[in-house]
Amino acid sequence: MSESTRDSIVKAAAELLDEGGPSAVTFRAVGTRVGLSHNAAFKLFRDKESLLAAIATAELRRQAAPPRRTHNRNETIGELRRRLVGYVRWARNYPERFKLTYGRWARDYAGLGEAATAARGQLVDLVRQCQSDGTLPQGNPERVTAMLLSIAHGASSLALNGHLSREGKGKASPEDIIDDFLALIG
């Protein structure tokens, strides 16, 4: 099968995931959506978890897109903010993909691990740039990245579960929390 067929299957599976969670992703439903037999996906994915891992891998690869080129400290911290805000907006727009991507996996998937490493590496590099230009405090860039991801992930989870909103609990959106945190540490 062609790469475009594989991409179409993963895209259809992601749409089904968005509409009904992991239980909505079946080989039959994916085949119907793509216009292929339900056996077509079996030729590319050995089981449902492999197909779900392909969705998570695609999401992480999208997040690992190269950062915008920056020329000064305001642009560098702006790029970091853009990345973190993009993360929380993605989580709110695609909560099932968010839960899937950052959930527990029963086994290792090479592509998934590689995509996760690349996405995190992009963010670590951006943190290093911010530390170099003085917009973030010095420290282990891996740990600073983990801290920033914890803030973005936690704020996203709280908002998705109704425990954080501008009008209600916390009196802030996840984006507000990111801005507050960057101001606090910057």
CATH placement of domain 3-45: 1.10.10
Is residue 13 exposed (0-12), middle (13-18) or buried (19+ Cβ within 10 Å)? buried
Amino acid 3: pLDDT:
63
Amino acid 186: pLDDT:
80
Amino acid 171: pLDDT:
96
Regarding pTM above 0.75, the answer is: yes
Cβ atoms within 10 A of the Cβ of 133, count? Answer: 15
Q: Where are the domains of the chain?
A: 3-45, 70-185
pLDDT, mean of each 10-residue run, the chain (186 residues):
83 98 97 91 92 97 80 87 96 98 92 95 94 95 97 98 96 97 92
